[in-house]
Amino acid sequence: FSELCKMNNNLSPSPLAAYGKIRKTCAPVGYCSPKCNVRDLKYSSADCKYSCCIPAPWKGK
């Protein structure tokens, strides 16, 4: 039952929803890492144990 609750929590809106978006897969656009680079966008994905980090599309000055 607790596993089911955890799964449902991923689908419900929460304060953390904007912090970590969910992707089906991280590759080939991103990489899996427990800690993303400051400029990377942080996602959750099925193929990453930790976070999926995707380099931001804009170029820094």
Residue 20 makes CB contacts below 8 A (sequence gap 6+) with: 42, 43, 44, 51
Tens-binned pLDDT, residue by residue, of the chain (61 aa): 444 444 444 444 444 444 457 889 998 999 999 999 999 999 999 999 999 999 987 665 5
Q: What is the extent of the structural domain holding 31?
A: 2-55
Domains held by the chain: number: 1
- The C-alpha atoms of residue 31 and residue 48 are separated, in whole angstroms, by 8
pLDDT reported for residue 2: 45
The tokens describing 25, both together, are 């897969």
On whether residue 60 sits in a domain, the answer given is no
In a domain, 43, yes or no: yes
Residues 44 and 19 sit within 8 Å (Cβ to Cβ): no
Q: Are 47 and 26 in contact (CB under 8 A)?
A: yes
Q: Which amino acid is at 35?
A: K
Residue 13 lies in a domain: yes
Q: What is the pLDDT of residue 17?
A: 41
